[in-house]
Structure 1
């Protein structure tokens, strides 16, 4: 999605596990450009993946 101000947003369709959310994984992220948005998504997925290892 793109806001009226031009900021890009992405929302994960499936929720993270409660453990991942407690660890700081957010379903919705935003950024100024596509590259930064991809990085923000990857950061959240990595955070969630770390909780799966515990």
Structure 2
């Protein structure tokens, strides 16, 4: 009896865990928190965000890129 599950690899973004929901939406969560300084506002309502989502993998890659850029700006 053979295993009918796909052996295709999931799309990946280095440093981020990527999942695809049952609804087909892509999510990524950064494996390590973004570095921050003590003087920085640690609000959860401003970038960089550690978890993001998008409708397509290409859109998810773009969103991760925006978060990484925001993370570099706060250093």
Using CA pairs under 8 Å that are at least 6 residues apart, name the structure with larger relative contact order, 1 or 2.
1
Structure 1 residues 5 and 20, CA, compared in 2 at 3 Å: closer, same or farther? farther
Q: Which residue of 1 aligns with 2:52?
A: 29
1:10 is matched with 28
Which one has a larger percent helix, Structure 1 or Structure 2?
1
Q: Which runs of 4+ in 1 moved over 6 A?
A: none
Structure 2, gaps ≥5 residues long? 1-18
- Max radius of gyration: which structure? 2
Find the residue that maps to 2:53 and give its secondary structure: strand
In angstroms, what is the RMSD of aligned CA positions? Answer: 1.8
Give the TM-score taking structure 1 as reference length: 0.82
Deviates more, 1:43-52 or 1:10-19: 10-19
| TM-score for both structures, normalised by structure 2 | 0.61
Q: Across the two proteins, how many residue pairs are aligned to each other?
A: 52
Residue 72 of structure 2 corresponds to 49
